[in-house]
Amino acid sequence: MRILQMLRICRTRISRKIHRVLLMRVETMKNKNRTPLELYIHIPFCVQKCQYCDFLSGPSDQETRDRYIKALRAEIQAVQGVEAYEIVSVFIGGGTPSVLKAEAIASIMETIQKKFCFSPDAEITIESNPGTVDLAKLNAYRETGINRLSLGLQSTDSKELRMLGRIHTYEEFLQSYQWAREAGFQNINIDLMFAIPGQTGEAWRAHLRQVAELKPEHISAYSLIIEEGTPFAECELDLPDEDTEYQMYEDTAGILAEYGYQQYEISNYAKDGYACRHNIGYWKRTEYLGLGLGASSLYGENRFSNTRDMQEYLGFSGNTERIRKDVLKLSLKDQIEEFMYLGLRMTEGISEIDFEQNFGQKLENIYGSVLQKYKETGFLEKTGTNWRFTRKGIHVSNHILAELLLDEE
């Protein structure tokens, strides 16, 4: 009965082999208090780099992909100290994870399910791009236990898609979305991008309504940021001015609210009950372990990232101490600052009660003057025991967050 309940919650058909693994792992979790842990798994491959992308990713041949999956599985198997943890979410990101064969994703899932204890209702997401999935592949994802799909659309306009360097059309996206529903995905995110070259406010509003009409459970809407080292950084671009971008952001929240989406984070909107738990974990400083090339972690009281050198990773992934770089043991000051500037990304803000429970100090004793100053200017507001940005405060949040950095002791 316990496993049947788990399967209903996950809303997925799990293959018999993995079913047995999960049964074994769930049974070992009885009557044990475990610390929540999130997993991020990086797949650094894509069909081609988009014009705006500065992520650690790029095209690859099949041999490199096969060697990478072998190395990734070796890293997973080499991780130490997992007995105290329970996996509450997994995010397979990239790059474009869906460029891999379905069998490769299945092998990754099997490896982590054997290694870690999973919460029965763990949220398991994979990023996919239209043009790299079909119904068979999406069905295979479901069979491995993946229960959330994130589709990278960015725009409903073919001209804009070509300009961004995307490999797909809007029609191909619609086909992928239909296949995802046919495969049984009941939790789908769609990524959109605004303030892109030549885009008008009217066009953006049309994109939003077009996507909202599809009724995905979650929509992520990001403004374009021109990053150094990308093709866009070398071009003269006709970008919307600041006032237009400001209005695009406000229109996003307003239009999506009409369709029943709640804004729960600066760039994320969800139907009731479908906020991305993995993302919320980041903002609330849930421990997470990054696996794969360049993946970052908050593990124990340490932050670190894996090597970004592919050859080093392929050769030494089974030696976690060798591939982990820039290990930083977080001081109390570091933890307090992170609590503030990560937590304030959430529309619910940060809790005075949580602050005192985490750090043994009252929030007002450390940040009282700053919080009060921005409350009086209308950029922050207090609701009950929570502090959060107002609508106009969101637009100057970077300036305010800079003032939350504490002096060195």
CATH code of the domain in which 139 resides: 3.80.30.20
Nearest to 386 by CA among 357, 343, 334: 343
Which strands make up the sheet holding 380-383, listed edge to edge?
Answer: 350-351, 386-389, 380-383
Of the residues 282, 315, 343, which one is the last residue of a structural domain? 282
Q: What is the mean pLDDT of each run of 10 residues along the chain (409 residues)?
A: 31 35 39 86 93 88 97 98 96 96 98 97 97 97 98 94 92 97 98 96 97 98 92 88 96 98 97 98 97 96 97 98 97 96 97 96 96 97 97 94 84
Q: Which residues, other chains included, contact 310 with Cβ-Cβ below 8 Å and sequence gap of 6+? A: 44, 64, 68, 293
User: Is 271 inside any structural domain?
Assistant: yes
pLDDT value for 32: 60
- For helices 170-182 and 135-144, what crossing angle results, to 10°? 40
Here the tokens at position 131 are 């043009």
Task: Specify whether 29 is located in the same domain as 133.
Answer: yes
Task: Specify whether 231 is located in the same domain as 347.
Answer: no
Position 321, amino acid:
E
Count H helices and E strands in the chain, helices first. 17, 15
Judge whether 351 and 385 are in contact, CB under 8 Å. yes
Of the residues 240, 261, 282, which one is the last residue of a structural domain? 282
Judge whether 50 and 164 are in contact, CB under 8 Å. yes
Here the tokens at position 120 are 């029965």
Q: Is residue 95 reached through a cis peptide bond, with omega within 30 degrees of 0 on the bond before it? A: yes
Nearest to 124 by CA among 89, 85, 152: 89
Q: In the beta sheet, which residues pair with residue 380?
A: 389
Domain that holds residue 338: 333-402
Q: How far, in Å, CA of 145 to CA of 323, rounded?
A: 28
Position 148, amino acid:
R
pLDDT value for 409: 57
Task: Specify whether 349 is located in the same domain as 207.
Answer: no
Q: Which residues, other chains included, contact 24 with Cβ-Cβ below 8 Å and sequence gap of 6+? A: none
pLDDT value for 54: 83
Task: Specify whether 98 is located in the same domain as 220.
Answer: yes
**Hey, is 294 helix, strand or coil?**
coil
User: Is 305 inside any structural domain?
Assistant: no
Q: How far, in Å, CA of 241 to CA of 238, rounded?
A: 9
Task: Specify whether 186 is located in the same domain as 254.
Answer: yes
pLDDT value for 30: 40
Nearest to 313 by CA among 301, 322, 304: 322
Task: Specify whether 348 is located in the same domain as 252.
Answer: no
Q: How many angstroms separate the first and last alpha carbons of the chain?
A: 55
Own/partner pairs, 231-235, CB within 8 angstroms, 24+ separation: 231/49, 231/51, 231/52, 231/165, 232/51, 232/52
CATH assignment of the domain containing 390: 1.10.10.920
User: Is 301 inside any structural domain?
Assistant: no
Tally of CB atoms within 10 A around 350:
24
User: Is 322 inside any structural domain?
Assistant: no
Q: Is the dihedral of CA 336, 342, 346, 347 positive or negative?
A: positive
Q: How far, in Å, CA of 77 to CA of 114, rounded?
A: 9
Give the helix/strand (H/E) hosting 223: strand 218-223
Q: How far, in Å, CA of 298 to CA of 285, rounded?
A: 8
Task: Specify whether 210 is located in the same domain as 354.
Answer: no
Count structural domains, the chain. 2
**Hey, is 296 helix, strand or coil?**
strand
User: Is 326 inside any structural domain?
Assistant: no
